[in-house]
Chains A and B, each alone.
Chain A
Amino acid sequence: MAEITCREALNQALAEEMERDPRVFILGEDVGLYEGSFKVTRGLLARFGEKRVVDTPIAEAGIVGLACGAAMVGLRPVPELMTVNFAIVALDQIMNHVAKVRYMFGGQVEVPLVIRAPGGGGNQLGAQHSHSLEPLFMHCPGLRVVAPSVPADAKGLLKSAIRCRDPVIFLEHEGLYGVKGEVPEGEHLVQLGQADIKRPGRDVTLIAVSRMVYVCLEAAEMLAGRGIAAEVVDLRCLNPLDMATVIASVRRTHRAVTVEESWLTGGWGGEVAVRIMEAAFDELDAPVLRVGGADVPMPYNHELEKAAIPDAEAVCRRVEELF
Chain B
Amino acid sequence: MTEPKEAGLPEREELFTLYRDMVRIRLFEEACPRLYSQGKIGGFLHLYSGQEAVGVGVAHALRQDDYMIGAYREHGLLLARGSRPHEVMAELFGRQTGCSHGKGGSMHLFDVDRRFMGGYGIVGGHLPLAVGIGYSILYQEGDQVVVCLFGDGATNQGVFHEAMNMAALYHVPVVFVCENNGYGIGTSVRRASAVEELYKKSCAYQTPGVKVDGMNVLTVLQAVSEAVVRAREGGGPTYIEALTYRFRGHSISDPGTYRSEQERRLWKERDPIPRLAALMTTQGLATQEELAAVDAEEKALLAEAIHFAEESPDPPREELWQDIYAEPWPAVILPEKGTIPHG
| A residues whose Cβ falls under 8 Å from a Cβ of B | 29-30, 33-34, 37, 55-62, 85-86, 88-89, 123-129, 264, 289-292, 294-297, 299-304, 307-308, 318
Contacts and interface: CB of A to CB of B under 8 A. Distances in A.
- Chain A interface, DSSP helix/strand/loop, else mixed: loop
B193 A290 contact: no
B342 A85 contact: no
Contact of A55 (B105, B187, B320): B187
Contacts of A85: 121-122
A318 B159 CA distance: 43
Contacts of B124: 58
Contacts of A289: 341
Given A33-B186, A85-B122, A292 B341 contact: yes
B158 A59 contact: yes
B157 interface: yes
B320 A308 contact: yes
A88 B157 CA distance: 13
Contact of B321 (A57, A128, A292, A296): A296
B185 interface: yes
B10 interface: no
14 contacts: A33-B187, A37-B185, A59-B157, A85-B121, A125-B105, A264-B342, A289-B341, A292-B341, A294-B321, A297-B324, A300-B102, A303-B314, A304-B102, A307-B317
B132 interface: no
Given A300-B104, A304-B315, A124 B184 contact: no
B186 A34 contact: yes
A131 B200 CA distance: 36
B278 interface: no
B157 A89 contact: yes
B246 to A, nearest CB: 15
- Identify the 3 closest CB pairs spanning chains A and B, nearest first: A300-B105, A34-B186, A57-B156
The residue in A125, A126, A294, A296 that gathers the most chain B C-beta atoms within 10 A of its C-beta is A126
Contacts of A318: 341
B151 to A, nearest CB: 9
A124 B158 contact: no
Contacts of B121: 85, 125-129
B185 A29 contact: yes
A34 B187 contact: yes
B187 A299 contact: no
Contacts of A296: 320-321, 324
Interface in B173-214: 184-187, 191-193
B164 interface: no
A294 B343 CA distance: 8
B107 interface: yes
Given A34-B185, A126-B121, A294-B320, A304 B103 contact: yes
B234 interface: no
B185 A30 contact: yes
Contacts of A29: 184-185, 187
A100 to B, nearest CB: 20
Nearest to B102: A301
Interface string B126-138: 0000000000000
